[in-house]
Amino acid sequence: MGFNDLELSERLLIARRGTAYLSQRLAELTDDELAGPTLLDGWTRRHLTAHIGYNAAALCRLMDWAATGVETPMYASTEQRAQEITEGATLSPAALRNLFAHTVARLDEKWRNLPESAWQAQVRTAQGRLVPAEETVWMRTREVWIHAVDLDNGGRFGDFPKVVLESLLDDIVGMWRKKDLGAGIALEIDGGERIAVAPDAEATHTVRGQLPAVVRWAAGRGAIGLDGGELTPPRWL
């Protein structure tokens, strides 16, 4: 069973757990440490904190779209999104923390107050996909859990709920297949399944390990405790 097969209330609970997990990682950082690097090339923790806050604000716009029927895109443009993050990274530590707390609370409020019928309303993601409004829960779940690791101060894929790990792997492999990438790669989960990225092609490289380690590698966050993790994975986002 994947994440989106769960009841909406369960999905919202996992998203909120991820937000709390991320909030704890952020709270453990001193203001000076916000200037330190993340696992994302070129981004400091300031950039990442700004991005997480503005992502919540963008999802609020999708919730408004679902509630009113008035098209409200996540971002005006890719350039606007990038500029927002760049400028957000220059905010004071207190302002950055406030941005995070305020936008997180606002998104949760939008989720709580959305009429039941509006959860199936069609909205458009930043990548241009039309999805039901309930997809915002998975979009945010993915953001908060992964970026808690990207802060690079103790977040671990091993702390993620299993359903999040499994759904992330489905997303990543699905995106590789859509982009025709990673055809020779097979993933082996210890004590579980073997996934060939291209089932009809011969696997020339196998990455093997526990589920959290395989997902971490596939998501481009490094190889820890893996066989075959020396290979650089294809990009998925």
Tell whether 142 and 71 lie within a shared domain: yes
Tell whether 99 and 11 lie within a shared domain: yes
Tell whether 194 and 126 lie within a shared domain: no
Tell whether 27 and 57 lie within a shared domain: yes
Q: What is the pTM of this model?
A: 0.95
Which of 135, 155, 175 is a domain's end point?
A: 155
- DSSP bridge partners of 124: 130
Maximum pairwise Cα distance, the chain: 53
Residue 232 lies inside a defined structural domain of this protein:
no
Tell whether 151 and 177 lie within a shared domain: no
Residue 117 lies inside a defined structural domain of this protein:
yes
* 141 in Cβ contact with 18 (< 8 Å): yes
Tokens of 231: 């290979």
d(CA 210, CA 208): 7
Tell whether 94 and 34 lie within a shared domain: yes
* 219 in Cβ contact with 172 (< 8 Å): yes
Count of domains observed in the chain: 2
Tell whether 138 and 68 lie within a shared domain: yes
**CATH number for 186:** 3.30.1050.20
* 219 in Cβ contact with 168 (< 8 Å): yes
* 217: containing domain: 162-227
Which of 140, 155, 170 is a domain's end point?
A: 155
For residue 55, the surrounding DSSP H or E stretch is helix 45-68
Tell whether 19 and 129 lie within a shared domain: yes
Residue 217: the pLDDT is: 97
Which of 113, 133, 155 is a domain's end point?
A: 155
Residue 154: the pLDDT is: 95
10-residue mean pLDDT profile of the chain (237 residues): values are: 95 98 98 98 97 97 97 91 95 97 98 96 93 97 98 97 97 95 94 87 91 97 92 92
Residue 178's Cβ-count burial label (10 Å; 0-12, 13-18, 19+) is exposed
Tell whether 167 and 151 lie within a shared domain: no
Residue 32: the pLDDT is: 98
